[in-house]
Amino acid sequence: MNEDLMEKIMSEVMKKMEDSNNDNNTNKKIESSSLNNEGYRMTEFVGKTKYGKTIGLVIANLDKSIHDLMGIDKKYRSIGIVGARTGAGPQIFAADEAVKATNCEICKIELPRDTEGGAGHGSLIIYGAEDVSDARRAVEVTLKEVERTFGDVYANEAGHIELQYSARASYALNKAFGAPIGKAFGISVGAPAAIGVLMADEAVKAANVEVIGYASPSDGTSFTNEVIVFLSGDSGAVKQAVIGAKEAGLPLLEALGGEAKSVTVPYI
């Protein structure tokens, strides 16, 4: 077997390995399609999406003892559950659209330290509803929206940056981040945290926005390697601020870890 042939095989193999590695990367697609039930029949299963390993479930009649343990009002007979290994911002901004579109309350938003070996959070979101169809609808909307809200997540092997923007914050963004309801709201996230610091500075320099919060590894995150700023204000200004943050953070992330593409399609 000559060297050329060995070379050709190795190049094919390395390419496949790369693909396979990319598949394993944080924030990358998994094979299954969004909301594909593929013969799965449990009534509690609503769907899943390839983005962030996000799963959506519903419980029609939550056991009273679980209400107590979770500290959820018993009037919410049904709950919707959205959980993910990777991502908190994308799921929470998606959940904000879900509460606008349905008759649900946000009962809980919890952020584990996760992203499957990456630098950030995973998420657990609980919706409360009096009727199971409302809970199911909230979960469905969230799973659908997650594809959009992963649009301004850019990741490579060194970390990730994330921008989110909403023209009108509702109860999920208020619960999770203290966003003033009804006003434009955005976040800038950089990981490793050093990049997030620079992005925070660029965001407030790029537009006249109010910074309503700042989270860092030891304060306000679940010990993630991120710095996050929470921005409120005028719709145009918030958008401009997060774009400024992105323009500062993306080249730094790429300097550290190579090309960092959008997980889906940028929406901001």
* Residues of this chain, 219-238, that bind its own copies according to CB under 8 A: 219, 221-227, 229
**Residue whose CB is less far from its own copies, 110 or 131:** 110
Show Cβ contacts of residue 80 under 8 Å, excluding neighbours closer than 6 positions.
Answer: 46, 56, 57, 58, 104, 126, 127, 129, 135, 136, 138, 139, 142
Q: Is 217 exposed, middle or buried (0-12, 13-18, 19+ CB in 10 A)?
A: middle
Give dist(CA 57, CA 85) in Å, integer. 15
CA gap 14, 7 in Å, rounded: 10
Binding positions for its own copies, 161-190, rule CB under 8 A: none
32 vs 133, beta carbon nearer its own copies = 32
Minimum separation from the CB atom of position 221 to its own copies (A): 8
Tokens representing 172 are: 């999920």
Nearer to its own copies, 163 or 168 (CB): 163
Which 105-164 positions form the footprint of its own copies (CB under 8 A)?
A: 110-114, 116-119, 122, 124, 126, 157-159
Angle between helices 89-101 and 132-149 (to 10 degrees): 140
- Total residues contacting its own copies (rule CB under 8 A)? 82
The position carrying tokens 């979770």 is: 70
- In the bound state with its own copies, the residue whose beta carbon lies nearer, of 125 and 153, is 125
Piece of 63-71, 94-102, 147-155, 165-173 that binds its own copies (CB under 8 A): 63-71
Residue 244 as a binder of its own copies (CB under 8 A): the answer is no
Does 70 contact its own copies by CB under 8 A? yes
- Beta strands (DSSP E) in the chain are 45-49, 54-59, 78-84, 105-110, 123-129, 153-156, 159-166, 184-191, 210-215, 227-233, 261-262
d(CA 181, CA 5): 63
One of 25, 34, 174, 216 touching its own copies (CB under 8 A): 216
- To its own copies, the closest distance from the beta carbon of 153 in angstroms equals 17
* Binder among 130, 182, 251, 268 for its own copies (CB under 8 A): 251
From the list 97-105, 129-137, 161-169, 192-200, the region that binds its own copies by CB under 8 A is 192-200
Q: Which of 27, 51, 76, 85 binds its own copies (CB under 8 A)?
A: 85
Q: Please give the backbone phi and psi of residue 25, each rounded to the nearest 5 degrees, phi first.
A: -65, 150
Answer yes or no: are the C-beta atoms of 230 and 183 closer than 8 Å. Answer: no
Nearest to its own copies of 168, 174 (CB atom): 174
Q: Between residues 66 and 265, which has the closer beta carbon with respect to its own copies?
A: 66
For residue 25, state whether it binds its own copies (rule: CB under 8 A). Answer: no
Q: Are 92 and 82 in contact (CB under 8 A)?
A: no
